[in-house]
Amino acid sequence: MAAQLTETYACVPSTERGRGILISGDPKSNSILYTNGRSVIIRYLDRPLEVAVYVEHAYPATVARYSPNGEWIASADVSGVVRIWGTHNDFVLRNEFRVLSGRIDDLQWSPDGLRIVASGEGKGKSFVRAFMWDSGTNVGEFDGHSRRVLSCDFKPTRPFRIATCGEDFLVNFYEGPPFKFKLSHRDHSNFVNCIRFSPDGSKLISVSSDKKGILYDAKTGDILGELSSEDGHKGSIYAVSWSPDSKQVLTVSADKTAKVWEISDGGNGKVKTTLTSPGSGGVEDMLVGCLWQNDHIVTVSLGGTISLFSASDLDKTPVSFSGHMKNVNSLAVVKNNKIILSSSYDGLIVKWVQGIGYCGKLERKVNAQIKCFAAVEEQIVTSSFDNKIWRVPLLEDQCGDGDCIDVGSQPKDLSIAHLSPEVALVSIDTGVVLLHGTQVVSTVNLGFPVTACAISPDGTEAIVGGQDGKLHLYSVNGDSLAEEAVLEKHRGAITVIRYSPDVSMFASADVNREAVVWDRASREVKLKNMLYHTARINCLAWSPDSSVVATGSLDTCVIVYDINKPASSRITIKGAHLGGVYGLAFTDERTVVSSGEDACVRMWRITPQ
């Protein structure tokens, strides 16, 4: 068997309240770059399912930019390291430099592609550095800032200039190379969040949390004018981007709007259009990032939603796509295996359709965090970090009013009987709770620490896994459990138990990296030596025809086993998710979907050899 990646449903950019994010792109390939966790994401605006991810940073990445010729990408992280890597042949690393002693917030290439300037947090040392891209040698001294420098830019035409701005409310101007301080402006009264030269090299704009935008002459650094306060932003302006013809700019703000401004030759700006993204108007609709590329106007909200407007037709409804920002810890496949639901622990449930990708978020009335998640055709069942289990009816693309059941202790695992979904089994520290609809039928103290559980589809049998690695089988009669057998094979706490769809087998996995497939009738081991992970197994899934089982682990791998062959003839998908695999499901006999710590969802096609 072999596996190939067919679709990637990408994560959204990591955002932070009260801060802008700087996204960038490459006009030639029409792609955009952004970061989430330790990943740098490359997305193509005209092909939403095509995603490339760079995962070599050792710390969370903050910003990435294409070189002027589009051949290289420089990306930076919170430890002050800049990595320069090729856009082709497996992202080959060209160089790695330790540039600052703290987090890097912005970087920019010189127009000839030979120098890079980076700015950020200096921890008492320099906040800005410019260096040669191939040797890392300094090209200038950057004095004049006393606090974190949030943004920097390189003038795209000769004579070269560098402009910087930051938390000390200053906009500084440097001439070179080698670069040295020329002048400083303190005309903003709050953090200056973003600074950008126009593509034709004639002007420079800075935007700030004081709701103002100021324009400067790019060659001399003198102030020309500002963005008109008439119909201006009502909140902090987080980012700015020039149109390719240098006649207009795009700004985004905490007031949840984006504005397109006409810039006069004299350097004053007046609002041409205000763009509002469709949304509920909550905090997560604040706009924190923007990019004007070719005919696309891209905005990013605090909730991570990316909206694409057409610059030539601003009244056209934007195309929006979104996804997860945090670890996607569970997956479910519903509606005849056509719709994939994924949930992340921050309480977000996203709906994906094979071949289309993002199809909306499921809005629940109560947006609690999600620890365990299960779904059947008509409803989803979730538990969070309190003692409650929620049952929420699944309507067309929204959730109805949910019912909440208090089980008296924090749920560890939950399992639904698929043939009679009102029956559910919830494991807590000391035992299990049997639910029927919204009623607690019984709470059974089993006398050992419980870590995982499963209930058979007809609701007559339960399997409970313990901290000691033993599997206890119970028959369920009404509200009582009667122990039938104890199976010993695992050498670590059980993490997951799943019945096969035809109910002739069940599979279990433990923290000690072993999985076992058992025959249900004889209670003997059916497939042994499934010991190919190098860390805790987090999840497992059966194919619909019960012939294949897949396991996902903290070691970033997904391993697929054929039940009728020895375990050694497995397929291993290495590096499926940076940071670990947490969710697995099959959509058909040959397609497995995985999700993980990197907030992405990926679809793999398995071909038998």
What is the 3-class SS of 551-563, one letter each residue? EEECCCCEEEEEC
Closest by CA position to 298, among listed 274, 324, 278, 319: 319
* 272 alpha carbon, distance to own chain's centre: 33
Give the tokens for residue 435.
């639910």
**Which regions in the chain score pLDDT beneath 70?**
124, 278-280, 609
Residue type, 22: L
Residue 386, sorted as left (phi over 0), alpha (psi -120 to 50) or beta, turns out to be: beta
Look at residue 151 in the predicted model and tell me its pLDDT. 94
| pTM for the predicted model, two decimal places | 0.89
C-alpha distances (whole Å) from 565 to each of 529, 561, 570 are 12, 8, 9
Q: Which two tokens stand for residue 51?
A: 């995603």
Write out the two tokens for 596: 């993980």
Locate 339 and state its tokens.
């719709």
CB 428 within 8 A of CB 447: no
Q: What is the pLDDT of residue 376?
A: 85
Tokens, residue 514: 């072993």
The three-class DSSP label of residue 447 is coil
Q: Specify the 3-state DSSP secondary structure of 89.
A: helix
- What is the helix, strand, coil percentage profile of the chain, to 5? 0, 55, 45
What's the pLDDT score for residue 280?
63
Dist CA 339 CA 410 (whole Å): 29
Query: Edge to edge, what strands does the sheet with 505-510 contain?
Result: 494-499, 505-510, 515-519, 525-530
Rounded-to-integer distance, Cα 534 and Cα 196, Å: 47
d(CA 439, CA 441): 6
Structure tokens at 281: 């108007």
Contact 590, 546 (CB under 8 A): no
Between the alpha carbon of residue 253 and those of residues 20, 112, 278, 315, 502, the distances in Å are: 9, 32, 15, 19, 54
Asked whether 216 and 222 are in contact (CB, 8 A), the reply is yes
pLDDT confidence of residue 550: 95
Which has the closest alpha carbon to 133: 150, 158, 154? 154
